[in-house]
């Protein structure tokens, strides 16, 4: 990790890390319809309270761990960084709700704002945790752990098969963990029902992009090791695509297990359900790969 | 070395950091502004519905009548039941459907199915709940 990165690159890294954290922590709440429903009739006072709550959580997280790789600086820095994180949470929650079709232009302004703001609370906490703790952990033991990684990657060199299998296994495990908790719920049919085919393509694109960001752009510390790890998964693009396919497979297995999909159901239903559940499954798969 | 980089990073924000801070603050100002505007203009008019019927289409002898339901009030209504009625006493046909939620000022579409041509169908909201 070079310290001589351009400031724009640094800023982009922070942004990517925030996006990754928001989805890692926020995805279960995104697929919870009660959160959208309550957003339908949230009074403006409660919306302000929710924003303050998210901001307070960010202040606490940023203050506790220091933001942007340095120890906590002056207070105005913390205030500004927390504001950035909150804005990012609002943007990611808006985009993700729009992608799965939960907010539409036809809905009234207050219902839309309610949903976005309610969803932004867990997203904020995800961003705060990602920026401070996930990133910090990697930097804390910078030298020693990179040595350790060298050793492991040398071992892997002789067994590139192991590398591939380990990645595939980690993806499948992570995807199963997340998909298992979401597959039996009513959100999958509900989201899938409202989606035109073009939207499915958008969800596929979003899944791939998020998986790539979480594993390769978010600087969670494993990137270097990941790129060095041999095996079929070597190139980031290939790894992202294969992991997505594995996640889709696990999503399909979970849907079949919980009988949301049965042998006689139409192909379009199989397709849309699997793609809708594929989004959280891919994020789980990506989390699995950075965790192992 | 780490101390040095630490110190250099506490120094003033870079242009990139300023740009992202300013964009963030603008976005937040928009969101807070909208919420405050909702708060101030909150007259909390109870739900009030307008129904526009569309064209009916014939599918295998059944008539599918599309309609758009608009909540013109400010408050969200839950379990909104729309009832359609055609014909006169003795020879009457009714059909109904229920919407989970219609937030204030939202438009939702629904379909009622009749077995005869619903040219003179009368649609009304029969009931709703205050969530």
**Alpha carbon separation from A26 to A29, A97, A246 (Å, rounded):** 5, 11, 22
User: Two tokens at A67?
Assistant: 């933001």
Q: Which one, of A188, A197, A209, lies nearest residue A254 by Cα?
A: A188
Q: Which is more confidently placed, A59 or A63?
A: A59
DSSP state of B1: -
Mark B29-59 as b/e (b = at least 16 C-beta within 10 Å).
Answer: eebeebbeebeeeeeeeebebeeebeebeee
pLDDT on residue B49: 94
CB atoms near residue A238 (< 10 Å): 12
| Helices A7-30 and A197-212, axial angle in degrees (round to 10) | 130
Q: How many CA atoms lie within 13 A of B10 on its CB side?
A: 12
Q: pLDDT tier at A71 (50, 70, 90 boundaries)?
A: low
Question: CA A28, A214, A51, A35: dihedral to nearest 10 degrees?
Answer: -20
Is B14's CB within 8 Å of A7's CB?
yes
Looking at beta carbons, which residues of chain B come within 8 Å of A49? none
Q: Which is more confidently placed, A204 or B118?
A: A204
**Residue that the structure tokens 């801070």 belong to:** B21
Q: pLDDT tier at B98 (50, 70, 90 boundaries)?
A: very high
Residue A5: is its pLDDT beyond 80? no
Residue B5: is its pLDDT beyond 60? no
**Residue that the structure tokens 């599309």 belong to:** B66
Q: Which is more confidently placed, B119 or A283?
A: A283
Through-space distance between the first and last CA atoms of chain A, rounded to whole angstroms: 20
The DSSP H or E segment spanning B21 is helix B15-40
Q: Which is more confidently placed, B38 or B64?
A: B64
The DSSP H or E segment spanning B81 is strand B77-86
pLDDT on residue A108: 80
Q: Is the dihedral of CA A87, B14, A213, A57 positive or negative?
A: negative
Through-space distance between the first and last CA atoms of chain B, rounded to whole angstroms: 59
The DSSP H or E segment spanning B70 is strand B62-71
What is the distance in angstroms between the Cα of B88 and the nearest Cα belonging to chain A?
35
Domain boundaries, chain A: 1-143, 159-292
The DSSP H or E segment spanning A242 is helix A236-257
User: Two tokens at A285?
Assistant: 């798969």
Q: What is the share, in percent, of chain A residues with pLDDT greater than 70?
A: 82
| SS3 state of residue B64 | strand
Q: pLDDT tier at A158 (50, 70, 90 boundaries)?
A: very low
**Alpha carbon separation from A32 to A163, A283, B57 (Å, rounded):** 35, 16, 35
> In A, residues 94-123, which contact B (CB 8 Å cutoff)?
106-111, 113, 116-117
Nearest CA in chain A to B17: A11
Residue A152: is its pLDDT beyond 70? no
Cβ atoms of A277 and A27 closer than 8 Å: no
Q: Which is more confidently placed, A274 or B73?
A: A274
Q: Which one, of B131, B76, B71, B123, lies nearest residue B103 by Cα?
A: B76
Residue A136: is its pLDDT beyond 60? no
Contact status of B104 with chain A (Cβ, < 8 Å): yes
* Mean pLDDT computed over B5-24: 71
Q: Give A215-228 pLDDT, tens digit per residue.
A: 888 767 655 566 65
Centroid of chain to Cα A34: 20
Residue A246: is its pLDDT beyond 90? yes
What is the rounded average pLDDT for all residues in chain A? 83
Residue A156: is its pLDDT beyond 50? no
Contact status of B32 with chain A (Cβ, < 8 Å): yes
pLDDT on residue A292: 73
Q: Give B60-83 pLDDT, tens digit per residue.
A: 889 999 999 999 988 888 899 999
Residue A140: is its pLDDT beyond 80? no
């Amino acid at each position: 990790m070079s310290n001589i990165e351009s400031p724009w690159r640094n800023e982009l890294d922070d942004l990517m890390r925030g996006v990754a954290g928001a989805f890692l922590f926020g995805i279960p709440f995104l697929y919870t319809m009660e959160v959208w429903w309550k957003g339908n009739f949230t009074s403006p006072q409660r919306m302000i309270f929710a924003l303050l709550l998210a901001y307070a959580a960010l202040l606490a997280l940023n203050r506790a761990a220091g933001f942007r790789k340095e120890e906590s600086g002056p207070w105005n820095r913390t205030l500004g960084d927390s504001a950035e994180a909150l804005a990012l949470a609002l943007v990611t929650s808006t985009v993700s709700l729009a992608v799965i079709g939960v907010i539409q232009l036809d809905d009234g302004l207050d219902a839309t704002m309610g949903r976005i703001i309610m969803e932004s609370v867990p997203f904020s906490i995800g961003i705060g945790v990602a920026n401070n703790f996930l990133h910090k952990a990697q930097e804390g033991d910078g030298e020693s752990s990179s040595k350790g990684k060298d050793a492991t990657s040398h071992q892997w060199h002789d067994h590139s098969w192991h590398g591939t299998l380990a990645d595939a296994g980690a993806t499948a495990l992570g995807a199963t963990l997340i998909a298992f908790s979401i597959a039996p719920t009513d959100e999958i049919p509900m989201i899938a029902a409202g989606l035109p085919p073009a939207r499915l393509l958008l969800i596929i694109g979003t899944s791939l992009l998020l998986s790539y960001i979480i594993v390769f752009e978010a600087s969670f510390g494993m990137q270097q090791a990941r790129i060095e790890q041999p095996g079929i998964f070597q190139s980031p693009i290939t790894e992202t695509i294969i992991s997505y396919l594995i996640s889709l497979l696990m999503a399909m297995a979970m849907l079949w297990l919980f009988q949301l999909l049965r042998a006689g159901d139409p192909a379009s239903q199989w397709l849309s359900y699997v793609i809708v559940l594929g989004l959280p499954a891919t994020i789980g798969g990506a989390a699995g790969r950075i965790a192992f | 070395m780490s101390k040095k980089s630490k110190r250099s990073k506490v120094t003033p924000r870079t242009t990139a950091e300023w740009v992202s801070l300013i964009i963030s603050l603008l976005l937040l100002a928009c969101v807070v502004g909208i919420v405050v505007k909702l708060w101030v203009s909150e007259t909390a008019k109870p739900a009030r519905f307008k129904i526009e019927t569309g064209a009916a289409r014939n599918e295998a002898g059944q008539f599918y009548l599309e309609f758009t339901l608009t909540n013109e009030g400010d408050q969200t209504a839950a379990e909104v039941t729309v009832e359609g009625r055609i014909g006169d006493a003795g020879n009457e046909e009714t059909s109904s459907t229920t919407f989970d939620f219609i937030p204030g000022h939202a438009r939702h579409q629904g379909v009622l199915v009749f077995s005869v041509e619903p040219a003179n169908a009368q649609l009304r909201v029969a009931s709703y709940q205050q969530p």
